[in-house]
Structure 1
C-alpha cells in the first residue's frame, strides 16, 4: 500500500507525531510526507493533515481514497480550528472525525468518529498530545481497515461553521479575571498564537505553565 501525508506547515506541532508514527509503520505500507499538493503524485491513501491548500477533485483522483481528520462531530463544526473554538466555549471533550475529502470542504462521508475527553486543566501542549495521538490512531485504523470501511454520508441538517482563527483571537481583557478567560488562555500556543493583552499603553504576552501541587 502506498500512503501520502500532505501537511502544508513544516512548523506545525503535528509533524513530530507523524514522524514517530512513520517510523513504526508495518512492512508492506510505504508512507511519504509532502508539503505541497504537486508532490502528491498518487497511490492508495492520501491523508490531508493540517493542509492549507485547496485539494481539488482532480488532485484526489490520483488516490483510491483521500481522507481528512477534522476535530469536530461533523456536520457540526465545519471550518477552521474547530477544537480550539469548542474548548474556548467550555467543551469538556472533542470528537475527531475521519472523513473523505470532498467539495465543499468538510462535507465528505464519515469513516469513523472518535471522542476525546479533555481535562479542564489541560494546557495547549497537553491538548495537542491528546488530539495528535488520536489522529495517528485513526490513520492507522484507516490503513488497517481500508477495504472494509463503508462510509456514512453526513447528515443534511445540523451543520455549523467556524471561521479561521487569527492572532487577534488570543487577545485577553485585562479587566476580566484569569478564571473568566482561562479556557482562552490555555489553548494559546505561545509560539503560534500567544495570549496577550494591552494595558497602560503597552502590549504584554502571557504564558501559562502548569505545576502539580506538592
Structure 2
C-alpha cells in the first residue's frame, strides 16, 4: 500500500518526518496536500497547519491524524503543552481518521506518554515526535486488522497559544510557574516578565553536575541543539553562509568558490524535497558551533561532513561536531556504516576522525588533489573488511 507523510514546511517536525519516511518502505514526504496528485492508501497528516478540503480526503483511502490528548477531550491547539501546564505527567496520544470536523474522526489507536515532570521544550517536542512515529509504525504493523471506534464522551477544546502565554508573574515563585517554563521556546517564544514598563526575557536550560551539591566546578550544560537548515530563519541562514564562505572553511571543501545568497537559499529550499540529504546547524546554549550534513548512500550507509564556526576561538569544536554526528547517524538515522571524504593535506581533521575510530578505506584524486575516503562501522571494534580494507 502506498504511504504518504504530510507535514508543514518551516517547522520543528520536519527532521522527524524525514526519519519516519526512511522507516517506511516506499513512503513519500510532502509539505503541501496540493502536491499529492495521485491517490494514496494511507496519508499520515502530522503537524500540518493548513486547511484540507474534503475532496482531498476523498481522494485517499485512509487519512490519519495524531493528536496529543484523549479525544474527544483536549481538542484544539497545542494539547501537549496545555496539559503540561496543567501539571499532567501522563499524556494520551490518539491516532484517528480525519473527517470534515477538526479532531473528530474514528479512533484506531491510543497510547500514553509518561513524563518525569522535568522535561523542557526541546525534550517535550522530541518525545512528542517519537510517539507520533511509534503510532504510525504500529498502525502499519497492525493494518488492516485494527477496528476503529467512534469518539465518545464529553469533548473539550484548547485555544491557540501565543507568545503572550509565555509571560511570567514576578509576584509568584518559580516553583509555582515551573510548568510554564517547561513549555517555552528559548528562541521562538521565550519566557518573559514586565517590570516598570520594561520587558525582560528569561531563557531556561537543563544543567547537571555530580559535584554541584559539594561546590564542585565540573558543570556540564546540556543545551546542545540541532536545527534543520529548512527551519532556520533568514538571519540564521545568512550566518551559516558566512561561515561556509570563510576562507578557512572553503579551502577544505570541494567547491571552494564563494556561494551567493540566492544560491544558498535555493539549495536550502531544495532540501525540502530531498529526503536523502539533511543539513543541520549545531548550537551550544544558543551559540552556533558549526554545520553538520548527512547523505544516505544506502539503507545502511550514511555519508557525513561538517565545518565549524570560523568566528569562534574555542578549542574542541571539532570533537563536539564529530560526537554529535556519530550519535545522530548511528542512533537516529540507524546507519550501520558512516563514511566521509577529506583532503589528504588536512592532517588535523584526519587525525580527529582516527581518534573516533575512522579508518582509511580508499584514496582518490579530486580536482588534482589527493582525497582520502574514511569509514567507521557501528561497532566497538572496526572490522577492516567492512570498510573495503583487506
Identify whether the pair has TM-score above 0.5, normalized to the shorter chain: yes
Match of 1:95 in 2: 92
CA RMSD of aligned residues (A): 1.3
2:127 pairs with 1:114: no
Highest RCO, 1 vs 2 (Cα 8 Å, sep ≥ 6): 1
With the length of structure 1 as denominator, give the TM-score of the two structures.
0.92
Gaps of 5+ in 2: 211-390
Kept in 2: contact 1:6–1:40 (CA 8 A): no
Match of 1:167 in 2: 163
Match of 1:204 in 2: 200
Match of 1:194 in 2: 190
With the length of structure 2 as denominator, give the TM-score of the two structures.
0.52
Match of 1:153 in 2: 150
2:58 pairs with 1:55: no
Question: Take 1:134 and 1:88, find their aligned partners in 2: how far apart are those partners?
Answer: 19
How many pairs were matched up?
209
Match of 1:64 in 2: 61
2:29 pairs with 1:33: yes
Greater Rg by CA: 2
Q: Give 1:185's match in structure 2, choosing from 181, 187, 194.
A: 181
* Superposed displacement of residue 40, structure 1: 2.2
Question: Take 1:124 and 1:154, find their aligned partners in 2: how far apart are those partners?
Answer: 29
Match of 2:3 in 1: 3
Question: Take 1:170 and 1:105, find their aligned partners in 2: how far apart are those partners?
Answer: 26
From the two aligned structures, give the one with the greater helix fraction.
2
Question: Take 1:211 and 1:127, find their aligned partners in 2: how far apart are those partners?
Answer: 16
* Superposed displacement of residue 85, structure 1: 0.5
Question: Take 1:112 and 1:58, find their aligned partners in 2: how far apart are those partners?
Answer: 25
Question: Take 1:44 and 1:165, find their aligned partners in 2: how far apart are those partners?
Answer: 34
Aligned with 2:71: secondary structure? Answer: coil
Kept in 1: contact 2:68–2:92 (CA 8 A): yes
Per-residue deviation, residues 134-185 of structure 1 (Å, max 9, x unmatched): 1001111122222111101100x31000111111111111221111111001
* Superposed displacement of residue 212, structure 1: 2.2
